[in-house]
Amino acid sequence: MNKKERNYISERLQVLVGNKVADINRNHGDIWIDFVDEHGKCYILLMQTLFRICDNEKILVTDTDKYNKLESESDDDLFEWDVNGANIFDKWVASNKNDLLNNLIVQKVKITEFGDLVIIFNKSITLTVYLEVTNNTECWRFFEKGNDEKYDLIVLGDCINVDLLN
């Protein structure tokens, strides 16, 4: 991903600064986060790649947690990661959704030199979304909810998919 593309992504995502996190959830392997601005407009970050949510002391939850069973589950042969509520990610979301996520406000958005997305929230929380591939595999999308005609941004491992922009 070149510098021009990284700058474009960064500029496009500045609309998130000041927005609150309204929801975090998943559908099978896809994780999404809803951001809402002061006027009620909703933006969605749909992640199909590795990510990590941390506070300033520890890792809180990762993409890989959706594939890991709860400690209370004993039989590995019966574990179905995609059943809602059956994995570590689902448990973390259920335990923290009301207390933590609905109070998070985006303070800063940046794109690293490798194209990773970093969103810094209040409460010392950081979301890092990694580009984990070097080809044109889709990693994440960003769009305005209700605007089904187009995706505002589709980020692949090696570039932005400009064919689907505007």
Tokens linked to 94: 């259920």
pLDDT in tens, 102-128: 789 999 999 999 889 999 999 999 999
For 17-116, where are the E strands, in sequence order? 20-27, 30-36, 42-47, 51-54, 59-62, 106-111
pLDDT tops 70 at residue 157? yes
pLDDT tops 90 at residue 10? yes
Cα 19 to the center of its chain, rounded Å: 14
At 116, the amino acid letter reads: D
Whole-number average pLDDT of the chain: 86
Residues 6+ apart with CB under 8 A from 100: 123, 125
pLDDT tops 90 at residue 33? yes
Give, as one character, the DSSP assignment of residue 151: -
Residue linked to tokens 């996520």:
101
CA distance readout (Å), 90 to 21, 24, 110, 113, 116:
17, 10, 27, 31, 24
According to the model, what pLDDT value does residue 166 have?
Answer: 44
Please state, for a pLDDT cut of 70, what percent of the chain lies above it.
Answer: 86
Residue linked to tokens 């570590």:
88
- Residues 36-57 have a mean pLDDT of 94
According to the model, what pLDDT value does residue 86 have?
Answer: 72
> What angle (nearest 5°) sits at the alpha carbon of residue 71, between those of residues 65 and 77?
85
According to the model, what pLDDT value does residue 87 have?
Answer: 86
Top-confidence residue, 162 or 32? 32
Helix locations, 22-121, DSSP H: 88-96
pLDDT band at residue 38 using 50, 70 and 90 as cut-offs: very high
Q: Tell me the domain boundaries of the chain.
A: 3-164
The pTM (predicted TM-score) of the whole model is 0.88
According to the model, what pLDDT value does residue 85 have?
Answer: 64
- Residues 138-158 have a mean pLDDT of 81
CA distance readout (Å), 125 to 60, 69, 119:
9, 24, 9
pLDDT tops 80 at residue 95? yes
pLDDT tops 80 at residue 41? yes
Most confident of 97-101, 129-133, 156-160: 129-133
CA distance readout (Å), 54 to 85, 121, 129, 158:
21, 10, 12, 25
